[in-house]
Amino acid sequence: MEKTKAPSFVQPNLTDCHPSPSLVHLFRRHRILQSPMYLVRWIYALVYSLYLMLFVRAPNDSDVVEYIETTTLAMLIRPASNGRSDEYDITVNDCKLRATGDYELKSLSLRYKNGKNGAQILHFTRNGVEVGDMSQIFSTFYFYHIYSFHPKIHSFSNGVVRYIVDHDVKTLLESTYTSIPLHYSLLHSSVSPLQWEGAVSTRLGYGGSCIRESVVEESKNMDDLKLHQATFRWNAHGEDTFVFKLFRMKQALQDVMERHGIDQNLLEGLFNHTILHSLDHHQSSQQLRLRFALHPWETGCTTYQAFNTSVFRVLMTGPTLNPLAPNTLRSINKPFYQDLYRELKKVDPNLVDVVTASVMY
């Protein structure tokens, strides 16, 4: 008989971010050390985006496939149903996201080919309607990734932090920083990039296109993210892929937790909270010289829309860290984090340097 898996201590809940007496010190720390960095990063994003406007170009088939295969979206890739070894499918159903202008993303499907002759998009549909415009295809995947898939990773953090604080797990103290105050700002601050009545981010040049309430609703729809928990799903991608590296990093985290006496029920939450979150940000901020509108249903991309996209991506997806308190594994001189850093470095000596101990941005 198979062993019954113990229930996780951490239940994903993006909205569980209100300040409580035990968390006041974390909100204070965030306000002093991390919040000012967003102002600095915003100014940098405006200036750097003006420079990027000289080089941006429309995305092509290879750009779409690269974005999918090098971010957590790769967890959705499956061998094509037609049995061809060089073709792959992605299918998303029952999506709850809504964009400004009363648009809804309910489903998407993609079949692509990636072989010796490069990547080729064979077929893409959105809400059952075929779409051929490559900018819209890229924008749709970007929209789904940053508002559906990535927030689900964030949703584990609140429970992780509350557990560490409530149970006084001193070994994981650095994994309590920023996460809950950050989520509170994203859901309730007027400068949040999410769209809701009272939001001012559009006037500041980094406004997104997704309705806040739909992000919260979609964050509860965990079916797609659950797929990465199955070992055979990871192995199917091949040892050189980003997804397989994530699998090995999760195994490394499990081993380190065992050595340091951390309850294994925290594994899923801590993996999302640290490794998966920071690496997903890093990977999704690599293709900055692409011209597309943040709104997936835009039929073109004006210069301002391209600038808005660039500011949003530089500000929201790039790492916003205080150099005096970056909270990366590499910077924390404590046994658990140094042990984890060494183990992750064996998997990928470059990616490990961007892994943070908590959701910092």
Per domain, the residue ranges of the chain are: 21-354
Helix axes 134-144, 61-69, angle to 10 degrees: 10
**Integer CA distances (angstroms), 190 to 35, 153, 203, in order:** 14, 23, 11
Closest-CA residue to 351 (of 360, 361, 341): 341
Per-position pLDDT tens, the chain of length 361: 333 344 567 899 999 999 999 999 999 999 999 999 999 999 999 999 999 999 999 999 999 999 999 999 998 999 999 999 899 999 999 999 999 999 999 999 999 999 888 999 999 999 999 999 999 999 999 999 999 999 999 999 999 999 999 999 999 999 999 999 999 999 999 999 999 988 999 999 999 999 999 999 999 998 766 654 444 455 555 778 899 999 999 999 999 999 999 999 999 999 999 999 999 999 999 999 999 999 999 998 999 999 999 999 999 999 999 999 999 999 999 999 999 999 999 999 999 999 999 999 9
Nearest-angstrom CA–CA distance, 249 and 243: 10
Closest-CA residue to 234 (of 247, 220, 219): 247
Residue 285 near residue 192 (C-beta atoms within 8 A):
no
Nearest-angstrom CA–CA distance, 327 and 336: 13
> Model pTM?
0.94
Nearest-angstrom CA–CA distance, 192 and 335: 36
Percent helix, strand, coil in the chain (nearest 5)? 50, 10, 35
Q: Which residues contact 31 (CB under 8 A, 6 or more apart)?
A: 181
